[in-house]
A and B are shown apart, each in its own frame.
Chain A
Amino acid sequence: MIGELGHFALALGCILALVQSVLPLVGAHRADARLMALAAPLAVAQLIAIGAAFAALLWAFAVNDTTISNVVLNSHSAKPLIYKFSGAWGNHEGSMVLWVFILALCGGAVAGFGRDLPSALQARVIGILGLIAAGFLGFIIFTSNPFERVWPPPMDGQGLNPLLQDPGLALHPPMLYLGYVGYAVTFAFAVAALLEGRVDAAWGRWVRPWSLAAWSFLTLGIALGSWWAYYELGWGGYWFWDPVENASLLPWLIGAALLHCAIVVEKRESLKIWTVLLAILAFGMSLLGTFLVRSGVLNSVHAFANDPARGVFILGLLMAYVAGALALFAWRAPRLGGTGIFAPISREGALVLNNLLLCSTTAVVLVGTLWPMFADILFGAKISVGAPFFNAATAPLAIPLVAAMAVGPLLAWKRADLAGALQRLWWVGLLAVAAAFLTLLIAGHHVWPALGFAAAAWLIAGAAADILDRIAAFRRPSQAWNRARGLPRAAWGGAIAHAGMGVTFAGLAGMGLATDALVELKPGQSTRLAGYEWRLESIRDVQGPNWSSRRATITVLADGQVVTVLTPEKRFFPVGRMNTTEAAIHTNALRDLYAVLGDERHGGGVVRLHHNPLSPWIWVGAGIMALGGGLSLSDRRIRVSAPSRKAAPAPA
C-alpha cells in the first residue's frame, strides 16, 4: 500500500511539475498576474508530493518491505538502520528520487524565499524548474520505478554492496546531489533572464548565493567520495581520474568559474552574457555527469546502472535542456549587453583570467573523459586515458591559476595597480619560495611536491595578506580589530575558501612524498618504512555481525615506543558473496599510517604499508573551502530577505 502511494505521489508530482512548467511561463509571457501567482503554490504542492514519495521509499527500506524489488535488491533486514536509509539512495532508482526531491526542495525555496523577486522573474524561474522536474520525474516513472513489486516476495533482501555500507558514503550522494541540483536553480535563473531579456544586479544577487551553495555542497560531496575511496578501497590513493570522478569535477570547475563571475555581475553589472552562459554550462555538466554515471557508456570502477534505455532517455533530456537553453542563448543573449567597462588589469580582469583558466581546465578534463568513448565509436579503438594524461594536461593550467588566486583579491575594481598588489605580497612570495626550497632540502629532488608546498604557502599566506590588507593591520593597527569585525562575511568567506584550497594543495603535495612498502611477513617479523618499525603480531579469524574476516594485528613502533596498533582486515560478506579489504589507518593530522592485508601463505601474510604525509589535509582543505562558501552565504548582503543595515554600497 505504501509503495503504491509513493508511486502515485511520484505521478502526481510529475503532473504538478508539468502544470508548474506551463502556467507560470505563459503567465509571465502574457503578464497575467493570476497565472504568475500560481507558480509558488504549485512549487510547494510539487514539493509535498515528491516529499511524500521520498518518505514512502524511506519507509519501505526502514521496514524492509521485501515485496518491493528495489528493497530486495539493495537491502537486508540484518543491517543497521542508517544503512537501510542510505541503501534507499545507494541505488539508481532511489538516488533519482532523492535527486528530484532535492530539486523540489530548491523549487520550494525559490517559492518561499523569493517573494521580493520581481514576480515575472520568480514565475519564470519556477516554471523552468518545473520543466526540469517533469523531465526527470518522467524518467523515473517510465524507466526506473523505485516502487516496483515482486511476487512472491522473497524471505529477505540481497543486501547492500558492503563497500557502500559506510558513513562517508551514506552522506556522499545527498551532498553531491545538493550540488548538482543547485546548478538547476542557477540554470533556471539564466533561462529566465534570457526570456526576460534582462540581467541586472538583483539577478546577480540571487544567482550568487545559489551558485555558492551548490559549489559548497559539491565540494563536500566530492571530498567525501574521495575520502571514502582512500580509506575504503584500500588502494592507498584518493583520486583516480576515473570517468565518474571526473563527472563530478566538471560541474565543480565550471561552478567555481560561475560563482566568481556572478560577483562581477552583482558588483559591476559586467560579464553578464558570460555568466548566463556559465550557468547553462554548469547545469549541462551536472546532467552530463548524471548521464555518464547512469548509462554505462563509460567503463568505470563505480558506474551505476548499465541500461541503454535509461542512457538514451537522459541523453534526450540533456540535449533538450542544454540545446534548448543554448539556442535561446544564441537568440536572446545579444540584448543582455553589459554596462561596466574595465581595464585588463583590474579585479574584473583577474576574474576573467580565473574564468579562462577554469574553463580551459574543464575543457581538458572533458576531452580526456569522453575521448575513449568517441575513439571507440569512431575508430573502434579501445583506449583509455589515465592519470598521467590528466596530470600532464591540467598542471600547466593550475600553476597560473594558483599564481593569480592570491593576487586577484588585492586588485581594485575597474582599474588596478598590479605592481602595488605584488608589492604587498612580497613576504607571501618569499614564504612560497622558502617552502619549495625547504621541501627540496628535506625530501630530496621532488619537483611536484615542492611546487605543491609553494602553492600551499602562497595561497594560505596570500589569503592572510588579503585580510590584513583589508583591515589595514599595519597602517592603522589600533583600528584593525574594529575593521575586522566590520569586514563583510563575504570577504572572510572568500579568503577562507582560498586558504582552504591552499590546505588541500599542502595535502596533495604531502601525498606526493608518500612512501609505501609491500612485504611478506610472518607473525613476529617486522619491516621498516619511513622511520617506523612495523611488526606483524598475528593474523586470526574475527566474526562480525554480517561478515567474517581475517584480521592482522600490526604494531607500529618508533624508537622502540609503540605508536599504534593497526588491524587491517579482509572481510567476507556471505549475503552478497563479496570480499572487501578494510585498510587500517592511524592519523595524527600530520601523517597517516596506513596498512592493508593482502594474500596469506606460508603461515604469513602479504601486507602493504603506506606512510602518507599530510594526507588528511586534502579533505580538511575541502571542508575549509565549503566553510568559506557557507560563511560567504551568511553575508547580510546575500540574504536577500534580510533588510540591509545601511544603504551604502558594499565595500569592495
Chain B
Amino acid sequence: MTRKKRRLYVLLLCGLGLGSATALTLTAFQDNLVFFRSPSDIMREAPPANRAFRLGGLVEAGSLERGTGADGRPTANFRVTDGAHVIRVSYAGVLPDLFREGQGVVTLGMMQPDGVFRAREVLARHDETYMPPEVADALKRAGHWNPAQGAAPPPAEWNTAPRRGG
C-alpha cells in the first residue's frame, strides 16, 4: 500500500468514526433529551403529550398524601409549587429518604390529560440543605425569591396563586 493510499484510508476511517458518532448522538438526542419545566412554564405553554420531562419546584407544605394503589404499590400524591403556580403530582413508589414537604424536588415523568403529572422518578439529593439548581432558577423566575436575600421563605407562604384543581 502506498503512502498516499494509506493517508486516504486514514482520512476515510476518521470520517467514518466522526460521522457515525455524530449521527448516533443526533438521533439519540432527538428522542432522549429531557427538558426541565417549572409549574409556571407548564401554565404558560402546555408541554407536548407523550414526552417525558422533568418538573421541579418546592413540595407544597401539607400537600403530601400517601396511599396504596390498585396493584398494591404504595403511592404518593403531592403538589409542586414555584410560588406562582401549582402542579399536582402522583407517584407510585417509595419516596427517597430526603423527600420533605417544603423542600426542593425534581421529578421525571409525563403530564396526564387530566392535568396531573405522573412521575416515574422522584429525585432527591444527598444533602438536606441542597436546593437543585433548576429549582432555584425556577423560583427566581417566578419572582418570589431573590437568592441574594438569603434562604428561601417557608413554603407555607408561597401558595399565593390560585390553585388549579387543587
Q: B-contacting residues of A (Cβ < 8 Å)?
A: 161, 163, 299, 301-302, 341-344, 352, 356-357, 359-361, 363-364, 367-368, 371, 381-386, 388-390, 392-394, 396-397, 518-520, 570, 577-581, 596, 598-599, 601, 606, 608
A394 to B24, CA, bound (A): 8
Minimum Cβ distance to chain B for residue A535 (Å)? 15
A581 to B125, CA, bound (A): 13
Chain B residues near A163 (CB-CB < 8 A): 126
- Contact between A608 and B1, CB atoms less than 8 A apart: no
- Contact between A518 and B73, CB atoms less than 8 A apart: yes
Minimum Cβ distance to chain A for residue B154 (Å)? 19
Minimum Cβ distance to chain A for residue B56 (Å)? 9
Assuming A343-B1, A385-B33, A388-B31, is B94 touching A599 (CB within 8 A)?
A: yes
- Contact between B126 and A393, CB atoms less than 8 A apart: no
Q: Which of B1-52 contact A (CB under 8 A)?
A: 1, 6, 9, 13-14, 16-18, 20-21, 24-25, 27-29, 31-36
A385 to B36, CA, bound (A): 11
- Contact between B36 and A383, CB atoms less than 8 A apart: yes
Q: Can you sample 5 A-B contacts with CB below 8 Å? A: A364-B28, A371-B29, A382-B35, A393-B28, A599-B95
- Does B101 sit within 8 A of A, measured CB to CB? no
Q: A-contacting residues of B (Cβ < 8 Å)?
A: 1, 6, 9, 13-14, 16-18, 20-21, 24-25, 27-29, 31-36, 54, 66, 68, 72-74, 92-95, 97-98, 108, 125-126, 128, 132-134, 137
- Contact between B97 and A360, CB atoms less than 8 A apart: no
Chain A residues near B36 (CB-CB < 8 A): 382-384
- Contact between B25 and A570, CB atoms less than 8 A apart: no
Q: Which of chain B's residues has its CB closest to A341's CB? A: B1
- Contact between B66 and A601, CB atoms less than 8 A apart: yes
Minimum Cβ distance to chain B for residue A268 (Å)? 14
- Contact between B32 and A392, CB atoms less than 8 A apart: yes
Return the contact of B94 from the options A363, A381, A608 (Cβ within 8 A).
Answer: A608
- Contact between B17 and A384, CB atoms less than 8 A apart: no
- Contact between A579 and B133, CB atoms less than 8 A apart: no
Q: Which of chain B's residues has its CB closest to A597's CB? A: B94
A367 to B27, CA, bound (A): 13
Assuming A392-B31, A397-B24, is B54 touching A384 (CB within 8 A)?
A: yes
A361 to B31, CA, bound (A): 19
Chain B residues near A383 (CB-CB < 8 A): 33-36
- Contact between A352 and B13, CB atoms less than 8 A apart: yes
- Contact between B73 and A389, CB atoms less than 8 A apart: no
Minimum Cβ distance to chain A for residue B98 (Å)? 7
Q: Which of chain B's residues has its CB closest to A518's CB? A: B73
Chain B residues near A596 (CB-CB < 8 A): 94
Q: Which of chain B's residues has its CB closest to A385's CB? A: B33
A606 to B68, CA, bound (A): 10
Return the contact of B29 from the options A302, A389, A578 (Cβ within 8 A).
Answer: A389
Chain A residues near B18 (CB-CB < 8 A): 360, 363
Chain A residues near B73 (CB-CB < 8 A): 518-519
- Contact between A580 and B97, CB atoms less than 8 A apart: yes
Minimum Cβ distance to chain A for residue B85 (Å)? 17
- Contact between A301 and B17, CB atoms less than 8 A apart: no
A608 to B24, CA, bound (A): 35
- Contact between A518 and B94, CB atoms less than 8 A apart: yes
A302 to B97, CA, bound (A): 16
Assuming A383-B34, A384-B54, is B6 touching A341 (CB within 8 A)?
A: yes
Q: Which of chain A's residues has its CB closest to B137's CB? A: A382
Chain B residues near A371 (CB-CB < 8 A): 29
Chain B residues near A360 (CB-CB < 8 A): 17-18, 20-21, 24
A344 to B73, CA, bound (A): 57
Minimum Cβ distance to chain A for residue B99 (Å)? 10
- Contact between B97 and A581, CB atoms less than 8 A apart: yes
- Contact between B133 and A364, CB atoms less than 8 A apart: no
Assuming A301-B125, A392-B31, is B20 touching A579 (CB within 8 A)?
A: no
- Contact between B13 and A356, CB atoms less than 8 A apart: yes
Return the contact of A385 from the options B24, B32, B98, B134 (Cβ within 8 A).
Answer: B32
A386 to B29, CA, bound (A): 10
A323 to B14, CA, bound (A): 21
Chain B residues near A394 (CB-CB < 8 A): 24
Of B1, B18, B97, the most chain A CB neighbours within 10 A belong to B97
- Contact between B32 and A389, CB atoms less than 8 A apart: yes
A596 to B74, CA, bound (A): 14
Minimum Cβ distance to chain A for residue B8 (Å)? 11
Minimum Cβ distance to chain A for residue B159 (Å)? 23
- Contact between B97 and A579, CB atoms less than 8 A apart: yes
Chain A residues near B32 (CB-CB < 8 A): 385-386, 388-389, 392
Chain A residues near B35 (CB-CB < 8 A): 381-383
A329 to B16, CA, bound (A): 23
- Contact between A518 and B66, CB atoms less than 8 A apart: no
Q: Which of chain B's residues has its CB closest to A608's CB? A: B94
- Contact between B28 and A161, CB atoms less than 8 A apart: no
- Contact between A301 and B126, CB atoms less than 8 A apart: yes
A520 to B75, CA, bound (A): 10
